[in-house]
Structure formats: structure tokens, C-alpha cells
Structure 1
Amino acid sequence: MTYRPTVATAVPELTTLTLGVEEEFLLLDPETGENLPVADRVLTALPGPARDQSRQEFRHSMVEMVTPVTADLAELRAQLVALRRSAAEAAEAAGARLVAVGATPLREPHRTVPDKPRYHAMSRRYGPVAHDPAVCGCHVHVGVPDRELAVQVCNHLRQWLPVVQAITTNSPLHDGADTGHASWRGMQLERWPSIGPTPYFASATDYDRTVDELIAAGIMLDAAMVYWYARPSPAYPTVEIRVGDVCPTVDDTVLVAALVRALVATVLDDVRAGILAPPVRDCLVSAAHWRAAHDGLDGDLIDLRAGGARPAWALVDELFATVTPALVRHGDLAYVVAQLARLRDEGTGATRQRRILERTGDLRAVLADLAAQTRG
């Protein structure tokens, strides 16, 4: 399909929704490809502004960079470029490569958690699951200050998030081999009891009551451990979409952020119009996410609206058509058209990794290419 949408002449007014992105990165040994536990050194070496936008993560071989809030896609892109460059330079100073990849591709010899009470509590509660090799995601925050609206937005997103997940797949490798899954990160995370598709909630009260019950049952330590694929953020007035692997390039990330913002804007219109989220069984939503993690965009996805498996790109086309009015209202249409065309031509991060591995037979060549894409 060629992306040439027909845009209505009369477009309803929409307040521009704000955006923020969190990207998690691995720190890898340039020679061996193994995870390097040098996050503390990298964070210390960051220049002041970048350090303020960084976070310590659950692994000594991970860093997270967080953009400031913006409503402008070009500004978001510039922020991501600057943060990645600063983090890459700090990683190189610590003898590591900053790599945007969704799951540990080779090995992680050091799996102790940073010395924080919360991390130690998670380690005690979840045991070996908490010591799996590191995984890295891309989290997109979209401004929705009303929690009641935010919960309803999450209900409506359920049918589309497997498509978003497929677009971001960027972790086919584990233990030095192709797993057969486009997102091995998606498979690893399924072992955590508080991660997965967002349940359907009747209201914000229903949401809060359910979270309280899960905490009381010992499933979560606290409300911050709600790691569902979409959630009202516990810290910000946003809906946070956290289904995707970290993307290999800045343009991949910005494409996902633009599509997610347009999707949130579109379903907000539906919620305000009194349109109820379609009832989709949890087992089918879970199956759709499994298929997205397995196939990426190189196979089929499950259509949660019509039922059955369909070519992945057919659902990407339909997602694009659904959110086109919101892309127009935010001024993001031209960028998304160009980046979807590039994605169709180049493939997802998982596809690109497999292509290099097939051509070279050398995992180090894959990781070197990923590091170059990360740095930009």
C-alpha cells in the first residue's frame, strides 16, 4: 500500500497532546558482545544535562535516557539524538558500546542488582525471574491528565497494541543464536506476574481497586510495579505505552511515538463520543501479543477487531488509516508517511539483525551495526 491518505477538509480542533519517551540501552563489550556491568561509570560520565535525563536501571549493564516533555515531534527527535549521543560517548569512555537492542544478545555474566532497597526486595520476591538477562524497552508517554479518561483510553488501546509491538520488534537473538522470535524480550517478560496486556477496567476506581488487590496478594510490591503494556502513569499525568522493544534508530523511535500519540488522540475522541471499547477476550489479546512478538512484521498478526490472522502489513495499513486524521492535526503526517515507507523497505530492527547475521554469520557484525544505528 502507498500511503496517500484522503484528508477531510473540515478537521475537528484538537489540543496537541504532549509526548515523552524513555529508552533503555544495553552496555556491551566491544570485543566479546557480552553485557558489561559499567552503568555507574557511564552515568557518572554523562554531561550535566544528559545526567539529569538519565536513570539507573535494574541491571548494571543498562542505562535509561528520558526526554523532556514536548509537543513537537521535531523537538522530540532532537532530544533523542542528543541523549543517545551523550550516552554513547559516556559508554565509550567506560570501555563499552551503547546498543539499542531489546534483549541481551549473547551473555550477561554479572546479574546482581544495584544496591537499592527496592531492587533487593524485587530480587527476594521474584527469585530467578528477577535475574534473567537484561531486556530493554521503549516507553512512550502521551499527556492525558484525567485518570478516568486515561483508564478508558487504555481499554481502547488493547486492540491496537499488538500492531505497535510488531513495529518495534528488535530482539531476535539470545545466547548467541536466533530464537525464532522477532522480540525475545516479549517472551522473557511474560515470566513476570505484573507484565502483559492491560486488563479491561470499568473505571479508575475499578483500576485502583484491582491494583490494591494485586499488591495485597503479593503479586506486586507497589503500584509502580504495574507493568502492563498501557497504563495511567503512576508518576505523570500521562498514558504510558510500554509494549515495545527499544528501537535501533532515532527515526524508528520517533515513528512509534508519532503513531502512539495519534492513536491515543484517536481513541480519546471515541471515549469523549461515548463509544465503548470493543469487548475482546483476554486470551485473544495475549495470543495477539505472542504472535506480534514471534512474527514482527514479517508474517501474520491477529486482527482483534475482525478475528483471525492477517498479513502484518495489512494491519499496519489499517492502523495508519485509523490515525491519519490525528496525524494531520498534530502536523506529523508527512514524517510518518516517509518513515513507514522506510520501515517497509528496510524491515524492523529484528529483520535488519537477521539480514546481517545471514550475510556475515558473525554476531559481532550485528552488534557493531546496532551500535552504529544507536549512535546515529
Structure 2
Amino acid sequence: MVTSYPVAATGRDTTDQHHLTLGVEEEFLLLDPDTGRNAPVADDVIAVLPSVVRRQSRLELRRSMVEMVTSVCTDLGQLREQLIRHRRMAGAAAATTGARLVAVGATPVDEPQCDVPDQPRYRDIVRRYGPVALDPALCGCHVHVGVPDRDLAVRVCDRLRVWLPVVQALTANSPFSAGTDTGHASWRSVQLTRWPGVGPTPSFASADDYDATVAALVTTGVMIDDAMVYWYARPSATYPTVEVRVGDVCPTADDTVLVAALIRALVATMIDDERAGAPVESVRDCVLSAAHWRAAHEGLDGTLVDLRLGGVLRPAWEMVDELVATVSPALLRHGDIELVVAQLARLRAQGTGAARQRRIHARTQDINAVLADLARQTIEQ
């Protein structure tokens, strides 16, 4: 099994190197340990972080969220070390405010305070999108893989489309909302569809085509700027990377490393296919959206849509096995195959984050017991 994470890429072309660069951004909730409600203490948490870690933290649209960002990595062990360090330090900082740091994809109980930080862009977002911008907090895991050639990055995103529902299912970690089970493994995915810039990546012919389309969307007013393109995979607006942002934040650092390793291998495989002139799988947008809905609903506990076969339903773990088989040459090339195999065996035994939460809730009938266990998983390795 693999363990590694990407956030940004270097300025050099890494696509011909033995390792593609990686970077990871993880968003976390800050929760009241007594009520389970979101705690609006992000400013205080970031203020008490050690300075070296504070530089790798970010405030988000919600005062109950904090984001931690790794540096550029080539080795999964290096990535894992950073993820664990960031989680532990952010968890310790949260404890000083009386809150818990929790890796969960959607607000599990309630967000009493929904005002945004006093920044011009955030105020503009609230004016533009109204109540959608005041929805309870959502937390994702964004994986960056270094692909500095933007035309290549756009074509890679096109090729990723058939596999991203499988990645989404792997990361499902938000079954609860308002203290009850939503029936979805990733409620975050459902909530996010209220935003106009969220969803499967459209197909583009080139970087110029991508840029022209984004500019047109900004002109219409549906997006404030190009940073509000929240498609499931995109050429990063900030770094020379392909950014995959389809997943919920993962319960543990090892879960994140596994997902990052698979995404890096997927990007590497799509680069190989592009350079070899392999045909791109053609998928209707409505069927692609349906595949993502099913991934959010089922996680790995049911069936997923095989988009390569036109929409056939297949057991989720069968799709995971095919994903690994497809990217195994890239996993071998990066030295990640053994780690990925081991971590997938653990995930198969433990289940997704959503499955783990549901087991605890079935046993205790107590949402706070679920959140306490999530808080433990977030910082303990």
C-alpha cells in the first residue's frame, strides 16, 4: 500500500522524472467536545500553532475550519510525516481553545455561527451566492500532482473522469448531518452540488479552450474568478499541478497517503496514455454525474458505475481492484505498490470513514461517541 501526499509542484517539468511531485491540502473541522457542534475558533487555533506549521495553515470560509498544507513531496514517507505532524500540532492547538480537531467531510451536528471571516473576498462570496455560502462547513482532501505543462494537465483531467467516482467512494467520510444518518456515505458531496462551480470536470480540447470557458463563466457571474472553479479535477489556479479535489477529508493520515498514492499513479498513467495516443473514454455528462452521485451514496459498501462500460453497475471493490491494476505500472515506477496493497487490505478490513462511523453509531446510538473516535483517528497514528 502507498502513503504519500501532494500540494504543489516545483517549477521544473517532473513528468519525465522517476517521481511526480505531490502535495496535499487537508481541511478539518473544529468541534465542541460536549455538544458536537462546530466551534468558531479557527483564528485562535492558528494563532497558537508553532510558526513553522502556521505558515502551512490557512483560514477557510468557515470560522470552524482550518486547512493544513504539505510542502512539495516526492516520497510518500516524507508526505506521511508531514501529514502526521500537521494533524498532531493542529490537534494540540485546538485543545488549547477547548475544541477538538476532527477529520470529517461534513458538519455532523450543527453550525450555530455561520458568518464568514471579515475578508473582502469572503464578503463578496456571501453577497453573490446568498444562503449557499452560509451552508454548514464541509471538509475535503485536495491532492496536487506536478504537471507543469497546462495543455497536458487539461488533457489528463479529461482522462481522469472515468476513475474519479472510484476515488470519491474510497474517501467517503461524511454520513451524518444534524446528528442523524443521511443515507449517503459522503453527504459533503451532496451538499457541494449547490455550488455552481462544483462537479465533474467538463471535457476540453486544450488549455486555451479551458481558459476561454472559465473566462466565459466568470463573465456570466456564476463564478467570481477562476479560483472558484471547483471541478473534481482541474489545472490548479495556483500551482503547476493537476489538482484532484473530489474526496472527503480522510479519517487518518494513512488513509490520505493511500488516496494520494493512487491519485499520483492515476495522473502518471493518464500522462502515459496521452503520450501513447490512447483513445479517451467518451462519457455523457449526465451519466458521469450519476456515477458520482452513486459513489457519494454507496461509498465502498455497494456498487459503483463502470463508466468504461457505459454505466454498468459493478461491486465497488471490484472497481477498486481494476483501478489498482490499471495504475500498477505507475505504482511500481514510484516504488509505492507494496504500501498501496497493504493499505488497501487495511481499508478493506476497516471500511471507509463512513463505514467506521456507522459501526460506532450502531453500537452506541451516540453521535458524540462517533465524533470522539474520529478525533482520536485524526491525530493518532
Which moved further from structure 2: 61-70 or 270-279? 270-279
Paired letter, 1:94: T
- 5+ residue gaps, structure 1, are 3-12
Of residues 193, 207, 211, the one that matches 2:210 is 207
Please give the alpha-carbon distance, in whole angstroms, between the structure 2 residues aligned to 1:33 and 1:366: 10
SS of match in other structure, 1:305: helix
Report the equivalent of 2:44: 41
How far has the Cα of 1:275 moved from its partner?
1.9
Identify which of 148, 151, 154 aligns with 1:151: 154
1:258 to 248, 261, 268: 261
1:260 Cα deviation after fit:
0.2
> Which of the residues 346, 351, 355 maps onto 1:351?
355
Match of residue 274 from structure 1: 277
CA distance in 1, matches of 2:154, 2:284: 18
| Alignment-derived partner of residue 9 in structure 1 | none
- Does 2:288 align with 1:285? yes
Q: Is the 8 A contact 1:139 1:244 kept in 2?
A: yes
Using the TM superposition, give the Cα deviation of residue 276 of structure 1 relative to its aligned residue in structure 2, in angstroms: 3.2
Aligned to 1:111: 114
- AA partner of residue 267 (structure 2): V
Match for residue 102 of structure 2?
99
Identity %: 69
Does residue 318 of structure 1 match 2:322?
Answer: yes
Deviation at 1:14, TM superposition (A): 5.1
Aligned residue type for 2:335: G
Unaligned runs of 5+ in 2: 2-15
CA deviations on 1:265-292 (whole Å, 9 max, x unpaired) are: 0010001112232111101110000000
* Aligned counterpart, 2:234: 231
Moved over 2 A (4+): none
In structure 1, what is the equivalent of residue 244 of structure 2?
A: 241
- Following superposition, the deviation at residue 214 of structure 1 comes to 0.2
TM-score, normalised to structure 2, is 0.95
CA displacement, residues 200-231 of structure 1 (integer Å, 9 cap, x when unaligned) = 00111110010000000001000000000000
The 8 Å contact of residues 54 and 66 in structure 1, kept in 2 or not, is answered as yes
* Alignment of structure 1 residues 57-136 onto 2, 5 Å: 57-136=60-139
Separation in 2 of the partners of 1:74 and 1:255? 11
Q: Counterpart of 1:178 in structure 2: which amino acid?
A: D
Instruction: Give per-residue Cα distances to partners, 1:163-205, cap 9 Å, x unaligned.
Output: 0000000000000000000000000000000000000001111
The TM-score normalised by the length of structure 1 is: 0.96
1:185 pairs with 2:195: no
Q: Secondary structure at the match of 1:58?
A: coil
Contact 1:173 1:179 in 2 (8 A): yes
User: RMSD of aligned C-alpha atoms?
Assistant: 0.9
Say whether residues 1:366 and 2:370 are aligned partners.
yes
SS of 1:264's equivalent in the other structure is helix
Deviations 1:3-57 (A, max 9, x none): xxxxxxxxxx853100000000000001000000000000001001110000010
Q: Kindly provide the CA deviation profile for residues 106-155 of structure 1, in whole angstroms up to 9, marking residues without a partner as x.
A: 00000000001000000000000000000000000000000000000000
Secondary structure in 1 aligned to 2:309?
coil
When the two structures are aligned, how many residues end up with a matched partner?
365
